[in-house]
Structure 1
Amino acid sequence: MKLCTLATGDTVYRYYKSIVIPFEQPRKVISTAIVNGGYREDLTAVFNNDCNPGAGMACTLRAPTYQEHIKLITEEIGLDPLTTAGMETAASMQNVAIHTECYETLTVTAIVTGGIEVNGGRVGDPADYFQPIDKGIVEKPGTINIILIIDADLPPGIVSRAMVTCTEAKTAALQELMAGSNYSTGLATGSGTDQTIVIANPASPLYLECAGKHSKLGELIGRTVMPAVKEALFKQTGLSSEQQHSMLRRFKRYGLAEEELWQAYADNTDKAVIKPKFLHELYQLDSDNCLVTYSALYVHLLDELQWELLSGREVQQAGNELLVAVAAKYGVVAPVIADTNTAACLKAWQALVLNIITNTIHKTEEEK
C-alpha cells in the first residue's frame, strides 16, 4: 500500500513486511546498511524490513551469509540488490511513524520504526559482541530504524552531518522518555542495533551547507525525528510518558524490581501475606502520583552521584530529606541512608517502599 508521497517526488510503500522507497531520480544517500552502505549516489531504492518470523521466534538468516540474506529479501520486494540499501528490524512495519516539517522551501521527513525494551543501551555500556556468534542468527532485539529524507541538495560531508544530528535527536527523544539501559544504570542513548538512512535530493534548487543544531535544517531534523521516534516506540511497545509514570520503571535500571521487593518483604516479615496480595499492593502504589514524583527526584540524585556531579555526602543528605518527606506523606517511619554510595541509597528506598506496603496491609487486615 502507498503510505505517502515525499516532497522529493518519491513514494513510500509498505508491502511484504517492508517499507520501500524507490527513487524517481538519483539521490545522495548515506546509511549504516551492511550491504551498499556508506555514502552512495548510485542507489535506486532503500527499504526497512521486518525480519521477525513471529512472537517468541528468533530471526534467522535465510541464506548462508547476511549479504546473501539481504540480496534475497531485496529481490523478493522487487528491487535491484546491486543498487539498494536496506535495514532489518524485529519491529513491525505496521507501527511506523512518519513526521514531516517544512520551512520556506525546505521539507524534512522522518520515517521511523523502533523498540528498545529488550536491548536499549547507553553508549559505553559493557558489551560482548566481539565474541564469536552463530552466523545463522540475526539479532532480534528491538531496533530504532530511521529513514530521513531531506528535500534539499547537500554536499557529501553535510549529508554525514545530518546523520549526526539525526542520531542526537533520537537520543534526545529517549532521554525525554527517561528510557533506561538494559546493561547499566544509565539512560539509554539508543539500541544496540540501530540503523539510519539519510537521503538528500541533488535535483533540488535549494542547496544547504549546514545540518548542525544552529541551522534551520538541523532544527527540522530534530522536530521530525524526535516525535517520530517517540510515536514509533509507543506503537511498538507502549513506551510513553504515561507508561513511565511508574516507580518501578524509574528504578528498573538500578535493579529495584518486583521480585527483589517481594523477597525482601518475605525474608523480613513474620506475618508475610501471600505473594499475589503483596504484588497487588505494590502495583497499586507503583503509579501513585506522590511516590512517582519523589521516585523521579530520588533516581536523579543517584544519576548525579554516578556522573560525579554531586558528592556522596550531598546525595546522602538530600536523599534522607526525600525519605523523610515521603515517609511523612504515608505515615510510616523514614529509613536512613547509612552510607554515601548508590547501594546504601537503594537499600533505604527499598526499606521505605516495604514500610509503606506493610503499613497498608496492616490497615487492611485491621479493617476486616
Structure 2
Amino acid sequence: MSWIECQRMAGALILSAERPLLTVSSSLFGGGVQEKRYLVNAQVPHGYMSDDPWRDLEARVAQLGLPTAETTGMMTAADVDQVVQAEATGDQFQLQTFVTAGVGNAARAGVRRKTYPGYRAGTINIIVAIDGRLTAAALINAVITITEAKTAALQDSGVVIHDGSGRFATGTTTDAVIVAATQSPAYAGVHQYAGLATELGASIGETVYRSLLTSLQRGDAS
C-alpha cells in the first residue's frame, strides 16, 4: 500500500491510509482538527436537500463499511467517478489533490443572498493529502491557499453568480475542504507555512487550480 490509497465504491470516493492522518477540514462528518484514516467524498442525487445531512452522511459511512470514528466525509452532487486528481513532489513532501465540482449553487462571498437552513448539494469538494510533516498553522495556511486557488479557477473559467450581475463566483454555497497530513517521521523537516511563498504552498495552489480548471472546462460541474 502506498502512503495514500484511492478507491471508488458505491458512489463514493474513499481515500485511506495505514496510519491516522492529521486532518483539518470543514467536513460535515468528522470535521475540525482530528486524526482520521479514511477521507470520503460521497455522491448524492441532484436536488438533494436535508435538514440533517450529518446523520445522512454518518449512515452512508456505515453503509460503506468504514469505521465512523476513523472517518471524515463530505457530500457532493458531482459525479465522483469523474474526480480530477493531480500530484506534486518537493522538498520534504509529496502530495495528491482530489477535486469534484458542481457549481449549480455558485455564490460570491460578500454579496447578500437568500440563505437556507438545510443542506443543498451542488458543491466544490477539495481534498489535499500530504505526505509530510506540517504544523497546525501550516495546515490552516493550506486551507487559505486552497481557497485562493479555487477562486482563481472559478474566475478564469468565467463562473458567475445567478443574480444577473455578471459578477464572478468565489465558490458555491456548500464548498468543503479536507487537508490531511501523514506527519511521517521519515521526513526530517517540518513545514511551518503553506502559503504561496513556499514550495509546498505553491504546489498545493497549482494542483488545486489545475484540477478544478480541468473539471470546470470539461463540463463535469453541472
Show CA shifts across 1:285-323 (max 9, x none): xxxxxxxxxxxxxxxxxxxxxxxxxxxxxxxxxxxxxxx
- Looking at structure 2, the residues matched to 26 and 238 of structure 1 have their Cα atoms a distance apart, in angstroms, of 31
Q: Which amino acid aligns with 1:121?
A: A
- Looking at structure 1, the residues matched to 132 and 221 of structure 2 have their Cα atoms a distance apart, in angstroms, of 34
Q: 1:126 maps to which residue?
A: 112
**Pair 1:23–1:210, CA change in 2 (3 A):** same
Q: Quick check: 1:91–1:236 contact (8 Å CA) kept in 2?
A: no
2:160 pairs with 1:166: no
Show CA shifts across 1:114-159 (max 9, x none): 021x211211122222x6x4x5xx413x211000011111111211
Q: Quick check: 1:166–1:221 contact (8 Å CA) kept in 2?
A: yes
Q: Quick check: 1:113–1:233 contact (8 Å CA) kept in 2?
A: no
Structure in which a larger fraction of residues adopt helix: 1
- Looking at structure 2, the residues matched to 103 and 19 of structure 1 have their Cα atoms a distance apart, in angstroms, of 26
Q: Quick check: 1:115–1:236 contact (8 Å CA) kept in 2?
A: no
Q: Which aligned pairs between 1:72-221 and structure 2 lie closer than 5 A? A: 72-116=59-103, 118-129=104-115, 133=117, 138-140=119-121, 142-183=122-163, 184-203=165-184, 204-205=186-187, 206-221=189-204
Q: 1:313 maps to which residue?
A: none
Q: Which aligned pairs between 1:160-309 and structure 2 lie closer than 5 A? A: 160-183=140-163, 184-203=165-184, 204-205=186-187, 206-237=189-220
Superposed displacement of residue 196, structure 1:
0.4
Q: 1:11 aligns with which of 5, 17, 40?
A: 5
Q: Which amino acid aligns with 2:215?
A: A
Superposed displacement of residue 67, structure 1:
2.5
- Looking at structure 2, the residues matched to 236 and 197 of structure 1 have their Cα atoms a distance apart, in angstroms, of 23
Structure in which a larger fraction of residues adopt strand: 2
- Looking at structure 2, the residues matched to 119 and 25 of structure 1 have their Cα atoms a distance apart, in angstroms, of 36
Point out the structure with max Rg over C-alpha. Answer: 1
Aligned positions, number: 219
What secondary structure sits across from 1:46 in the alignment? strand
TM-score (norm 2): 0.90
Q: Which amino acid aligns with 1:115?
A: G
Q: 1:48 maps to which residue?
A: 41
- Looking at structure 2, the residues matched to 238 and 212 of structure 1 have their Cα atoms a distance apart, in angstroms, of 27
What secondary structure sits across from 1:82 in the alignment? helix
- Looking at structure 1, the residues matched to 93 and 65 of structure 2 have their Cα atoms a distance apart, in angstroms, of 31
Superposed displacement of residue 104, structure 1:
3.9
TM-score (norm 1): 0.56
Percent identity between matched residues is 28
- Looking at structure 1, the residues matched to 93 and 17 of structure 2 have their Cα atoms a distance apart, in angstroms, of 19
Runs (5+) with no aligned partner, structure 1: 240-368
**RMSD of equivalent CA atoms:** 2.0
Q: 2:56 maps to which residue?
A: 69
Superposed displacement of residue 236, structure 1:
4.2
- Looking at structure 2, the residues matched to 161 and 123 of structure 1 have their Cα atoms a distance apart, in angstroms, of 19
What secondary structure sits across from 1:217 in the alignment? helix
